[in-house]
Amino acid sequence: MDAMRCLFMLWALCCLSLLRAEDGSRLWLRMERNAGEADVRLGHGTGRTPTLDIAVRELADYWRGDGRVVLQVLPEGPDRDGFTLSRRSDGVSVVSASPQGVLYGAYALLRMQQTGTDLHEGQSVTEIPSYDLRMLDHWDNPDGTVERGYAGRSIWRWDELPEQISPRYEAYARANASIGINAVVLNNVNAKPAMLSPDMLRKVSAIADVLRPYGIRTFLSVNFGSPKALGGLPGADPMEPEVQEWWAAKVAEIYRLVPDFGGFLVKANSEGQPGPQDYGRTHADGANMLADALAPHGGVVLWRAFVYAASSPDRACQAYEEFMPLDGKFRDNVIVQVKNGPIDFQPREPFSPLFGAMKSTQVMPEFQITQEYLGQSIHTVFLAPQWKACLDAETYQDGGLTVAEATQRRLGRRSVSAMAGVSNIGDAEDWTGNSLAQANWYAFGRLCWDTGLEASRIADEFLKQTFTADERFVLPVRQLMLRSWDVAVSYMMPLGLHHIFAFGHHYGPEPWCDVPGSRPDWMPAYYHRADTAGLGFDRSARGSKAVMQYHEPLSTLYGDIRTCPEEYLLWFHHVPWGYVMRNGLTLWDNLCYTYTRGAEEARGFADLWRGMRPYVDAERHADMLRRFERQAKDAWWWRDACLLYFRQYARRDIPADLPSPEHRLDDLKRFRLDIDNYTAADMDKLP
């Protein structure tokens, strides 16, 4: 009997251990619930709303400070969803002009508690968000797949909606509200016309009902050809009255179901998507037609500037060439959504010249949170430094405006400022497929809220809330995160190289790729231009003239090989292999040393993470260690593939003090990683 009892107890302990296994699903919201409810109440004259009820509940459950917390909506409080936190002798007050602002203030108070930031008696803190719309763009499809998604399938279970509402929808809304995100595009920019069908709109309405109390407005990506594909019209010409009437009726239908609907995101005349140019019209014609349909309801149009044609001599120039002639011709409820760089979310790009060029059009930055080009869910690459490099870049518009300043201005009566990020979220238990990739979701929200935040502070906040506040963990891992972007660029595409990934899935190197019949601008050689003379794309005044799209002094700075920042050297110049750079070494030697340094640092990341075992739960430590080890191997794969390939053109040896390649070029060329959505389970398929 004693033996049976022991076996039962052992079984129970095992089950308890499994129940407590860490799956990462709590993200950065790991506050310890109070033993008893905190004293939280609404201030005089503040009536209950669903949003305020959430704020009260969160603080009642998790606030551990002294005294009461008073939440108050006052007309004289901070507007634009801002808030003021004040410490008094008897407790804390949270004041805003809106219920949403009070909710953001409540989460800020909890964040301060979690990170050990004190609010002293008599002290007050006021925050007002940098952007009006702080938006996640989901590239999720109605069939449950996610384009460029690396964390499982879509969190939107369209086949179950509207009858079944997944509890993850509210968990998702809560996570977004905790970092200030207030807008969500539910579906892929490569939109299906069926997204606007009555059946799908009822499903959208059910999701919007869950998001609304958390202050999140719902947007949809729309297919410009929907009047033809869905409405049975002969075409979708934006100047045709019947097309305009169709959109007006469809918009009215949406607002009956989703009264706080935000508007449309549109990808038009890009990568095969229909658009106004199919009918001889301009981007402004198409955007304005939709804007007129949305304007009576308070909606906006987000019109993507990601356009390029196979015939263009330089893909980096085309967005500017198409949109600059239209500056000032868009309605004031249209925002032109511009990727951070001129090409396509590359590991390192100069900022898009459109940010400095369009002075009479509302422009918004679009960043990619999902790591399409940066190791997907395997590599740890903290993206806040990349985004800060863009936001803090000086455009020299009107004498001096950073990208952040240029995009935060409102240019019309109905204009709003906005910033968007392509989501890295899926139905994986930990939401992002990688515990440290959660930091990019977190960082995006925090930078939308305050572009002035430093990357180091954001990393610090994330680590303390998500793992532990123990400085023996926070200090080294924070440094790892802050180095990770530069390290990834070093072992993938240093010195301004870009778009030399494997074809299709973009995981791993393939600078030699040449798919017969494919568009030239989808092939790496279009970008690296390697030959026996040198390496890089000439975008100087003698080449494609892309440098001339920037204001002075940037045009001259980038256009002169002697002054061009070396991180963009091969972006703007075709550089001789023997060109002597500022450290006294040739281009070829710098390429060799940079690739090697990046690979060695990636190996160091794995070593550092091994030492974090005492501070991290076993599940997340083991999972991340496997990813760091794979990242280190990938870094050497990148290093060998690129140096062996470019050596054929440089006709120079790898410096003798550097390690010899571990791989053979012929073997790497034969290797094919035939996957669409790479996951940890596929790690062993790699070289």
Annotated catalytic residues are 271, 344, 372
Tokens of 615: 């501070």
- The helix/strand/coil state of 576 is strand
Residue 428 contacts residue 436 (beta carbons within 8 Å): no
Tokens 């405006």 identify what position? 401
Integer CA distances (angstroms), 144 to 153, 178, 188, 229, in order: 6, 26, 11, 21
Tokens 């009642």 identify what position? 60
**Between vectors from CA 235 to CA 232 and to CA 240, what angle results, nearest 5°?**
110
Residue 595 contacts residue 491 (beta carbons within 8 Å): yes
Name the DSSP class of 402.
Answer: B
Name the DSSP class of 320.
Answer: H
Query: In sequence order, what are the residues at sequence separation of 6 or more whose Cβ sits closer than 8 angstroms to the Cβ of residue 355?
Result: 338, 363, 365, 393, 395, 397, 403, 406, 407
Burial 356-393 (b: 16+ CB within 10 A, else e): bbbeebbbbbbbbbbbbbbbbbbbbbbbbbbbbbbbeb
Integer CA distances (angstroms), 37 to 40, 68, 69, 371, 600, in order: 8, 11, 12, 41, 51
Instruction: List strand residue ranges (DSSP E) for 186-299, in order.
Output: 217-222, 263-266
Integer CA distances (angstroms), 193 to 125, 142, 223, 258, in order: 46, 11, 5, 18
Q: Which residues pair with 300 in a beta bridge?
A: 263
Residue 91 contacts residue 119 (beta carbons within 8 Å): no
- At 176, give phi and psi (nearest 5°): -65, -45
Integer CA distances (angstroms), 507 to 527, 603, 626, in order: 17, 19, 17
Query: In sequence order, what are the residues at sequence separation of 6 or more whose Cβ sits closer than 8 angstroms to the Cβ of residue 596?
Result: 639, 658, 659
Residue 434 contacts residue 377 (beta carbons within 8 Å): yes
Q: What is the distance between the alpha carbons of residues 546 and 555, in angstroms, rounded to a whole number?
A: 9
Name the DSSP class of 547.
Answer: G
Instruction: List strand residue ranges (DSSP E) for 79-154, in order.
Output: 83-88, 91-96, 124-127, 133-137
653 burial (CB, 10 Å; 0-12 / 13-18 / 19+) is: exposed
Name the DSSP class of 673.
Answer: -
CA–chain centroid gap for 314, Å, is 25
In the chain, the amino acid numbered 638 is: W
657 burial (CB, 10 Å; 0-12 / 13-18 / 19+) is: exposed
Q: What is the distance between the alpha carbons of residues 102 and 109, in angstroms, rounded to a whole number?
A: 10
